[in-house]
Amino acid sequence: MKTTDSWDVFEKLSEIIEKSSKITFFTGAGISTSAGIPDFRGPDGIYNLIEKTHKLPYPEAVFDINYFRTNPSVFYSFSKEMFKAEIKPTFTHTFISKLERLKKLAIVITQNIDMLHEKSGTVKVLDCHGSYKTAHCIKCGSLYNFKDFEDNLRNGIVRKCSCTGVVKPDIVFFGETLPQKFYDIMSDLPETDLLFVLGSSLTVQPANIFPLNIIKKYSPYSVIINNQSTCYDKLFDTVIHQDIDSVFKNVNMHLQY
């Protein structure tokens, strides 16, 4: 089965899920757009938005560590947008947590910094681009917990450390290294019999290498769901260019549990 819009695909996917016991998910910003968080590179994505609202040398500068060191306010005003409403897990986040309770989940590797997988109750999650859970002062290295800088994020005001340094959430910026746990999992890939790549343009390295290596090592049944094509579509057994929540709502209707 290749690129498909057919109704049969939902039934087929539900059958494959029922038979699988080691499902790996690789998720990107597209899984959270229905929660009200814009993606990065979609037509209404953050990088297009930021170009209109901020004077930046280039849109990705908002997540560039060198730019942040001298202009942290842009990142904090972006964070204000992200935290302005109470964000809740989507249908798909919750569906994945259900698969974990059914002991079908190998792992979720997410590029997202929104913590929605954890919020939906999923335990086996690796945030390969970090998250807002903790932060560090970029000058003295002091550690901060989310509640210590949450108000700053909500108000878009740069959090300063007692040493006057800027506090930076532990999100992986361009120019920074991914957490060690990402490299650990790359060298010991989780056994996988079904792979889903959800809502990612698969353009950012090295994270995008993870699903490609899973395909190479285990040849699992592989599914990519994204509302536009990616340059890796041809590597997947099933390619679905539709809204992620709609797909899983339909798949869920066919499941026997």
* Interface with ligand OAD (CB under 6 A): 28-30, 33-34, 39-42, 45, 63, 111, 113, 129, 171-172, 199-201, 203-204, 226-228, 243-244
Q: Which is nearer to ligand OAD, 57 or 103 (CB)?
A: 57
Q: Which is nearer to ligand OAD, 22 or 80 (CB)?
A: 80
Burial bucket for residue 67 (CB in 10 Å: 0-12, 13-18, 19+): buried
Q: How far apart are CA 166 and CA 189, in angstroms?
A: 36
Q: Which is nearer to ligand OAD, 41 or 104 (CB)?
A: 41
Q: What is the closest distance, in whole angstroms, from the C-beta atom of residue 192 to ligand OAD in the complex?
A: 20
Q: What is the closest distance, in whole angstroms, from the C-beta atom of residue 28 to ligand OAD in the complex?
A: 3
Q: What is the closest distance, in whole angstroms, from the C-beta atom of residue 93 to ligand OAD in the complex?
A: 12
Q: Is the dihedral of CA 89, 42, 229, 124 positive or negative?
A: negative
Active site residue 129: yes
Q: What is the closest distance, in whole angstroms, from the C-beta atom of residue 242 to ligand OAD in the complex?
A: 7
Q: Which residues pair with 195 in a beta bridge?
A: 24, 222
Q: What is the closest distance, in whole angstroms, from the C-beta atom of residue 163 to ligand OAD in the complex?
A: 25
DSSP 3-state of 196: strand
Smallest Cα–Cα separation from 37: which of 79, 94, 76, 68? 79
DSSP H stretches of helix in the chain: 8-19, 46-53, 65-70, 72-83, 91-101, 116-119, 146-155, 180-187, 209-218, 244-254
Q: Which is nearer to ligand OAD, 163 or 183 (CB)?
A: 183
Token pair belonging to 165: 């340094």
Burial bucket for residue 86 (CB in 10 Å: 0-12, 13-18, 19+): exposed
Catalytic position from the list 93, 117, 129, 241: 129
Q: How far apart are CA 67 and CA 98, in angstroms?
A: 40
Token pair belonging to 43: 């037509």
Q: Which is nearer to ligand OAD, 50 or 161 (CB)?
A: 50
Q: Which residues are known to be catalytic?
A: 129
